[in-house]
Amino acid sequence: MPPFVETMKPRERVLAALARQPVDRPPVCNPTNVATVDLMDMVDSYFPDANRDPELNARLAITGHTELGFDSVAPYFTIIQESSALGCEMQWEGKDNWPTVRMSKPIWKGPQDIKIPADILKHRDMMAITDSIKILRQELGNDVAIVGKTMGPWTLAYHVFGVEKFLLMSIDDPDKTMECMDKLKELSVLFGNAQLDAGADALTFPDHATGDLVSGAYYKRFLLELHQEMAERIKAPLILHICGSTLDRLDYIAQSNMAAFHFDSKNDPAKAMEIAKGRIALVGNLNNPSTLYARGPKEVREEVFRCMDAGVDMIAPECAIPLATKLENLLEIPRAVRAWMQQHPKNGATIKS
Ligand SMILES: [Zn+2]
């Protein structure tokens, strides 16, 4: 059997997959974080500073390509940059832990409080990302895809109002909830477009209307039209990210006009592909806690194969990986994709045509 030969550059491959065009093989493209403590040690760039300093950020982000061999890099590791810039109380934590927003101390109560500072893009936690993207583009040229990230209004609302209070508001007063969304979405557009100006190719759009917290009907009521508007106003492919069980809302998500949906391992990849019906690309959905974190390369390969068998468009961990994830498991992901291609020669260059 002739060896599988790659004919596309990483960035070209990612952009083609996002456009649901033919690819030589599905890209390994992570919409969320793949930085680990091992990678931090390797380049001497640690949390929390790697989230706040553009040079440290770029140095850590680039390892997703240079060390792991992924087709993309993703410099926005967390979900807190905008919330910090809005003035939320932060817990920055140490080198091996995630910075978080103290949601027990919300800064706002309702739509009347929402004010996005005119100079918010100049806040250090916003510039850490935009300036890092400029550095990464310079260092990677046009070969590797840069995936930025701008938080959706639903997630921002959790941070500024507190999860419980915001969800209660959504039950008590849907109109007031929409008013909050309409104000907060302007920050999603602003930061998203700033990252594109800096050189990002695509943006992850996390908006945690997750299956554990809200129903599929909620997604349709509060977010479907808003996401369509985001896809229109932000001028690059968007990758919607929602964790948890999402099959009950995937039909709506497929109508969001976003380029791709980053989905959780709680959803069977074959079933997800069946619902998506080619209307949106799917990216995922390797399990983090029980496979990438706790098992070995053999189990990682099995899961990659399951996604490849299902025809998942881009292969990636389901969400931000635990910071202590073993390198050998991450290195196995692109290896397994190539091994699958080698075993399925007919699916080569024309896998989707
Ligand atoms: Zn997630």
Looking at residues 30-41, what average pLDDT do you find? Answer: 98
Q: What is the pTM of this model?
A: 0.96
Choose the most confident range, by mean pLDDT, from 81-85, 103-107, 215-219.
Answer: 81-85
CA of 188 to the centre of ligand 1 (A): 17
CA of 85 to the centre of ligand 1 (A): 21
Output the pLDDT for position 349. 47
Using omega within 30 degrees of 0 as the cis cutoff, is the peptide bond preceding 111 cis?
no
222 vs 173: CA distance, rounded Å: 12
CA of 247 to the centre of ligand 1 (A): 15
CA of 241 to the centre of ligand 1 (A): 6
CA of 2 to the centre of ligand 1 (A): 39
112 burial via Cβ count (<10 Å: 0-12, 13-18, 19+): exposed
CA of 317 to the centre of ligand 1 (A): 10
Q: State yes or no: pLDDT of 156 exceeds 50.
A: yes
pLDDT tens, residue by residue, 296-337: 999 999 999 999 999 999 999 999 999 999 999 999 999 999
In a domain, 4, yes or no: no
DSSP per residue, 181-231? HHHHHHHHHHHHHHHHHHT-SEEEEE----TTTS-HHHIIIIIIHHHHHHH
Residue 353's pLDDT band (cuts 50, 70, 90) = very low
The residues placing their C-beta within 5 Å of ligand 1, an ion, are 243, 319
Output the pLDDT for position 212. 80
Output the pLDDT for position 347. 58
CA of 320 to the centre of ligand 1 (A): 6
- The count of domains in the chain is 1
CA of 167 to the centre of ligand 1 (A): 18
CA of 5 to the centre of ligand 1 (A): 33
pLDDT, mean over the chain: 95
Looking at residues 174-203, what average pLDDT do you find? Answer: 98
In a domain, 316, yes or no: yes
CA of 198 to the centre of ligand 1 (A): 25
The CATH number that applies at residue 292 is: 3.20.20.210
pLDDT tens, residue by residue, 245-258: 999 999 999 999 99
Q: State yes or no: pLDDT of 34 exceeds 60.
A: yes
In a domain, 2, yes or no: no
Sheet holding 145-149, edge to edge: 72-73, 145-149, 202-206, 238-241, 260-263, 281-286, 314-317
In a domain, 197, yes or no: yes
pLDDT tens, residue by residue, 124-152: 999 999 999 999 999 999 999 999 999 99
Q: State yes or no: pLDDT of 270 exceeds 90.
A: yes
CA of 34 to the centre of ligand 1 (A): 12
Output the pLDDT for position 236. 97
Q: State yes or no: pLDDT of 352 exceeds 60.
A: no
Of 93-97, 189-193, 251-255, minimum mean pLDDT range: 93-97
CA of 286 to the centre of ligand 1 (A): 12
CA of 346 to the centre of ligand 1 (A): 34
In a domain, 278, yes or no: yes
Looking at residues 200-219, what average pLDDT do you find? Answer: 91
CA of 309 to the centre of ligand 1 (A): 23
CA of 243 to the centre of ligand 1 (A): 4
In a domain, 101, yes or no: yes
User: What phi, psi does 182 have (nearest 5°)?
Assistant: -65, -35
CA of 283 to the centre of ligand 1 (A): 12
In a domain, 50, yes or no: yes
CA of 1 to the centre of ligand 1 (A): 39
Higher-pLDDT residue of 210, 59: 59
Output the pLDDT for position 213. 83
The domain in which residue 217 lies consists of 10-347
Counting residues of the chain whose pLDDT is more than 70, the rounded percentage is 98
CA of 254 to the centre of ligand 1 (A): 18
Counting residues of the chain whose pLDDT is more than 90, the rounded percentage is 92
47 vs 45: CA distance, rounded Å: 7
